[in-house]
Chain A
Amino acid sequence: MIIKARSISQGKAEGFALVSKKPISFYGDVDKKTGIIINKKSDIYMESLKGKILIFPYSIGSTVGSWVIYALKRNNVAPSAIIVDKADMILASGCLISEIPLLDKPEKDLKNLVKNGDYIKIFDDTIILG
């Protein structure tokens, strides 16, 4: 299945999906050294972001979140790409300087369509499922 989205930070990526139905605060929720979700209230608690196509609704919290995304990339534990409902300043700034593809406003609600472990390919604004 091919789904179009807005490409905020362009690029190619592929990998297994990791889906959270809750917003993520990169500052506080993610360990920047390991890329593991450390917020116990998260529905992807203890999951690793490394190499994943991370799908979640939107980001929240401090603008320091941009630096956490950059740190994940530097420590080789960043997601391969991020797809959200709506991108914001923190997420967009972080992904753009880290060269992590960021897409938002997908035509279909991926949070409910995609399951953890589904394989996804991304070319700029195009998402290929299965």
Chain B
Amino acid sequence: MFLSKEEERMLNGDFGEGVRIAMKLLIGLSKAFEAERLIEITRAHIAGISYENIGEEGLDFLKSLVDKGAKVRVPTTINPCGTDLEIWYEMGVDEKFYEKQMEVVETYKKLGAKASCSCTPYVLDNVPNKYEHVAFAESSAVIYVNSFIGSYTNKESGLSALACAITGRTPYYGLHTEEGRKPNFYVKIDFNVEGHLMWGVLGYLTGKKLGNGIPIIAHKKPENLIDIKEFCGGLSASSGIGMVYFEEDIKEKKNVKEIVLTKEDMKEVLNDFNYGKAEKLDYFFTGCPHLSSQDIINIEKMTFNKKVKNNSKLWLFASKSASETSSNEILKLRKRGIYVFSGACPVIAPLSYKEMKVGTDSIKAAHYLRSLKGIDVYLIDLKDAIKMMLE
């Protein structure tokens, strides 16, 4: 494998033990994925932030990197936490978990990362340009930046993205190469796609049918941010796909296998996630992937002059930066009994949701809540859910 002089020095420990460990990790990964060299990156986004997931050992590892002098070399953001770091008690999270979660975030800050705590770094916190080589974990964000911006990133793991941030490098293979970005499927759609819930379903169904690969979706590119976010979320939950094209991106469709997504396929997915079956919900949340400030403004308008029913929960999950720019709306929503949690993820929070009828408009969240917490989840349109939860 080819290493530049600086990379050799990183491996020799000239930049400290923390950098050496990160470089060793990248070289091992290069071997596993047959990358012949590393490529410089301009930014990184790290996943594996919830204390629920990484535990005490993960936290110890991060602290040991701090002790060994590791620092990120490029602008680096982090994924959501298991709890809101300000109103954690409103989420029903205990103080011990909050303290441990705080410690994880503080440790990432010591490593030089920005405590953005968002799964949508591409909106405000860490936005790459076209042709930029970056190292992003969080698979929905990977799909977004590759497909909707034209940046280059592989699907990094939380650990590999951290090593990339510390060295400013990533193994050069897969979606970083032109060869690795060639499409191999052409996906035709036999039904109408309207509204963000359905865009999520389209992503999920595409991933479920293909498993892996790079599809061209025979449809006009979605334009609304919320549609795109849900599409990327759905696709990332059901597959290993890291990039897609749309009809207008590619003129010639060479060497692609044609797949048709039928109305029946779509209905099967909707049925599987109990779409249209909820008559009453105890808890509805939206914001997977995280809501933008525009989404918060829209929901504020939709709930004007209304109040949440007794014993019902209507929760919104947004990135910290989105919340900061919509503090007026958040205050109004709070008076109506609607909570907006910042920088947190409803799926990886240490909550059981047992004995509750849970609904969401996000297929990604429905998928993971079902598999991780073993509960039934009801997929429901935002408008219908809001009507159901308000007096």
Contacts and interface: CB of A to CB of B under 8 A. Distances in A.
A96 B48 contact: no
Range, interface on chain B: 20 to 34
Contacts of A97: 21, 25, 61, 159
B160 A74 contact: no
A75 B24 CA distance: 23
A74 B48 CA distance: 18
Contacts of B158: 63, 66
A67 B158 CA distance: 10
Interface string A67-78: 100110011000
A93 B57 contact: no
Interface stretch (B28-36, B195-203, B228-236, B314-322): B28-36
A104 interface: yes
A127 interface: no
Contact of B57 (A74, A87, A92, A95): A74
Contact of A88 (B21, B32, B48, B58): B32
B157 interface: yes
B26 to A, nearest CB: 9
Contact of B159 (A9, A87, A93, A104): A93
A52 interface: no
Interface in B44-73: 47-48, 53-55, 57-58, 60-61
B251 to A, nearest CB: 34
Contacts of B53: 62, 64, 67
Contacts of A82: none
A105 to B, nearest CB: 10
Nearest to B158: A63
Given A67-B57, A70-B57, A71-B57, A89 B157 contact: yes
A74 B28 CA distance: 21
Contacts of A67: 48, 53-55, 57-58, 61, 159
Interface in A72-115: 74-75, 87-90, 92-97, 102, 104
Nearest to A63: B157
A63 B47 contact: yes
Given A63-B48, A87-B32, A92-B32, A71 B55 contact: yes
A88 B174 CA distance: 14
18 contacts: A8-B32, A32-B55, A64-B48, A67-B53, A67-B54, A67-B58, A90-B157, A92-B28, A92-B29, A93-B25, A93-B29, A93-B159, A95-B28, A96-B28, A97-B61, A97-B159, A102-B28, A104-B32
Interface of A: 6-9, 32, 62-64, 66-67, 70-71, 74-75, 87-90, 92-97, 102, 104
Given A92-B28, A96-B24, 13 more contacts: A8-B28, A8-B32, A32-B55, A63-B47, A63-B159, A67-B48, A67-B159, A70-B57, A70-B58, A71-B58, A88-B32, A89-B156, A102-B28
